[in-house]
Structure 1
Amino acid sequence: MSATFRIIIVGGGIAGLAAAVALRDKQREITVFEQASQLNEIGAGISLQPNASKIVEDWWGLKDALQQRKSAVDQGARVVYHRQDLQDVLREAATGTDRPGCPVMIRTSSRVISCDVDAGAVTLDDGSTATADLVIAADGIKSKMRRFVLGRDQNAIPTGISAYRFMIPMEELEAIAEFTQFINPRDEYTTMVLCHDHRLVMGPVRKGEAYSVVALVPDETLHEDSSSTSWTSHGEKSKMLGSFSDLPEWLLKPFRNVSSLGLWQLRDLEPLETWINGRCILIGDAAHAMLPTQGQGASQAIEDAEALSAFFQDIQCRPSPHDVHCRLQDAFASRHDRATLIQQYSRQQAKPATEKDSVKIKMDPEEFTSFNYTYNGAKDWLSKVQSKVQRSNNA
């Protein structure tokens, strides 16, 4: 029997690559299966809150690598990265030879279609199979792995809102006097523009080299079909401009020369009763997809990866299926309630899009911010939860 701890990660996005970085170690064979032909992100900003940025920058030692790419702008309590920069840094940290542990293998054009969660076996669309001691499902909001963990389908539900995402070079934007007389694009904060039921959320990324725009549109006024969109879907500029035709020309002018834009349908996922089954665990959007109102989606995926690292930290050889499952139970116990509360609060802040939601989170924004930012890792969180339960039982 091999002494190597074998890990399969399904999905090569932020969650999957974060898990690869967190779990990389000696005597570990980690393979990431990504269905796309290459790891690309359509340009847009992505924020990491302090609960996650300290994991990526300090605990994983990636601060210098991110700064060298001029990828981030510090906007107070959060750091905004270009999505492609963050993904590239995670990929290089996973696969590079200058970090401790065995380099991770990433297999693109590798679409997983089924999983035996007890055997730790996945089947690809070309008929080939792969087995591991641990399977991590990081295949996003439209996860195909979710059904194998839950034993049933549970799909994300459209919220009725879609979002275009695109980048504008800062030099190009600053040359448009009509725009800069109203907005200084180098100001390190997020600018929001409302027009009827449409919304623009904009801000600098890459140390001010580019300007990120997210344009939110109700589906009923969307000029194209968003029913099958994902993070890697492309939108059409003419149709985007049509959706925002009521905006003033000074605001639309920078958008007219955009060469590439993504289209993302905002979807909501009901909290899952479990993320684990056998040797498999769901993480990131596959486990707890949430609306972007609190900017915690990527941060929670980073927390998931840190939790796996924490509970498998001492494994330096091949673990038994029972050991794997027990550790997954600990990881789930440390993450589920916290991620679910953040998921529900993000939904609550998106009213009226989800106004039928009956769960009410009784925290004001300041309390919720403290709840988010004071996180200090999965083991610390689980210890506090267990202590609280013990005090309650002794009362």
Structure 2
Amino acid sequence: MGSVTEEFRIIIAGGGIAGLATAIALRAPNRQITVLERSRMLGEVGALISLQPNATKIVSQWGIDKFLEQAEPMPDRAFRIFNLEGKMVREMRLETDMFGADRMLYHRQDLHKGLLDAATSPELPGPPAVVRTASAVASCDPDAGTVTLQSGETLEADLIVGADGIHSAIRAAVLGEERSAIPTGISAYRLLIPIENLQNIDNLPEKMIDTSGRSSEGTTTMIMGHDKRVIMGPGRGGKVFGVVALVPDEKMNETSSTASWVEAGSRQKLMESYADFPAWLREIFARAPDIALWQLRDIDPLPTWTKGRAILVGDAAHAMLPTQGQGASQSVEDAEALQAFFRQQHAGGRPSATEVASALRAVVAARYERASLIQLYSRQQARPATDSKASNTVTLDPAQFMKYNCDYHGAEEWLARQQAKQ
């Protein structure tokens, strides 16, 4: 396949989690990987994020555990749902032997740094990826295999991966039209609280928060009531506690009109939105150093993710709401699928345009149905705010869907399993 005398040139647009995971997955001898990142990469947004068992299995296979250990990941041992009276109404255990790996909780900055270090480390197989910051992509020609930066510079590659997020510049080139992110009817307040700030909260329900700051394991908690929900969990080895509070847009007491993660939110307005929730929950809100607010947006399933030499991955392909905690994990799955279907290229050599396009079609065939279903269920779980926008319904209950999400062992195995059912 291809000539063994020329390097396989890969451009990845986007240096976030999806882009760096792809850079790690595609590393191999005789490959030149360039990551184009629009920002100066001075630090990822401060928030907690998880890698579900389906993704944890994959990153362990990449041999990057030592890079991620520096991120102080915490295995998440249970998902607990509480009502407004503080009573635990459901607990789903998350043991390693259930899905072959743990659900791991990270601070987003730490996970990003671990992936960046792995992508650029000389210790992994193949040449390290080269990350170019302040290199925003303006346009792409998928058939020619070119990317033009906002600076006017044009770069050529045998494979172009659009990992440039929900506002992807590559997406329009692949689809031949603009597909903008759409508001989903929900806004989210994001709080990151030092664990020492959460001591001595009156009437805090048992099993809600471990305030010792010494726990090596975590638990994710959701409080549901009326048409709102709050998801909480620990990070950085138990030293911080992350909170996401979801509010239907029509019930907001302030305007949320952007998808920016750094827009400031009002503590007073958050308190007003949760005025009918228990005092212990509002006390948690009160102890946050600052509050961010963003309007949750996703995209409808796209007609395709690929054209010519280009493919979309992560949020560029299937941006989804955080209600299943699968956004980052689906990006990792995309990266593994690219690795799997370009595996025969590991001996080196530059593939032809026909060979690249064929491999990319195989990636989409293995990934499209699964990612689209998880995307749909993530939107459905945000109801009732998006109830009127849902065109169909996934009938699995949360435990069944957790099994669907996490019982995954890679693209080739998944594709074979689906074909066996036909």
TM-score for both structures, normalised by structure 1 = 0.90
Contact 2:201–2:283 at 8 Å: present in 1 too? no
Structure 2: gaps of 5 or more residues: 79-93, 95-102, 211-216
- Alignment partner of 1:281: what SS? strand
- Alignment partner of 2:147: what SS? strand
- Alignment partner of 1:332: what SS? helix
Which of 72, 75, 88 in structure 1 is aligned with 2:74?
72
Alignment of structure 1 residues 295-334 onto 2, 5 Å? 295-315=325-345, 316-334=348-366
Alignment of structure 1 residues 94-243 onto 2, 5 Å? 94-174=119-199, 176-178=200-202, 180=204, 184-186=208-210, 188-194=218-224, 196-237=226-267, 239-243=269-273
Contact 1:43–1:165 at 8 Å: present in 2 too? no
Contact 1:73–1:205 at 8 Å: present in 2 too? no
Contact 1:45–1:205 at 8 Å: present in 2 too? yes
Contact 1:149–1:277 at 8 Å: present in 2 too? yes
CA distance in structure 2 between the aligned counterparts of 1:146 and 1:225, rounded to whole angstroms: 28
CA distance in structure 1 between the aligned counterparts of 2:12 and 2:61, rounded to whole angstroms: 21
Runs of 4+ in 1 over 6 A off after TM superposition: none
2:22 equivalent to 1:3: no
CA distance in structure 1 between the aligned counterparts of 2:72 and 2:255, rounded to whole angstroms: 35
2:278 equivalent to 1:275: no
Deviation at 1:288, TM superposition (A): 1.0
CA distance in structure 1 between the aligned counterparts of 2:21 and 2:134, rounded to whole angstroms: 20
Deviation at 1:298, TM superposition (A): 1.4
CA distance in structure 1 between the aligned counterparts of 2:407 and 2:225, rounded to whole angstroms: 35
CA distance in structure 1 between the aligned counterparts of 2:257 and 2:409, rounded to whole angstroms: 38
Cα 1:173/1:179, change in 2 over 3 Å? farther
Identical counterparts, % of pairs: 52
Report the equivalent of 1:16: 19
Structure 1: gaps of 5 or more residues: 390-395
Contact 1:149–1:276 at 8 Å: present in 2 too? yes
Deviation at 1:3, TM superposition (A): 0.9
Deviation at 1:6, TM superposition (A): 0.9
Give the AA of the match of 2:349: C
Deviations 1:218-248, CA, capped at 9 Å, x for gaps: 2234354432223454445455445445555
Moved more, 2-11 or 76-85: 76-85
Cα 1:376/1:181, change in 2 over 3 Å? closer
Which of 38, 41, 50 in structure 2 is aligned with 1:35?
38
Which of 45, 61, 70 in structure 2 is aligned with 1:59?
61
Contact 2:14–2:38 at 8 Å: present in 1 too? yes
Report the equivalent of 2:396: 363
CA distance in structure 1 between the aligned counterparts of 2:34 and 2:116, rounded to whole angstroms: 12
Alpha-carbon RMSD? 2.4
TM-score for both structures, normalised by structure 2 = 0.84
Give the AA of the match of 1:17: L
Moved more, 208-217 or 379-388: 379-388
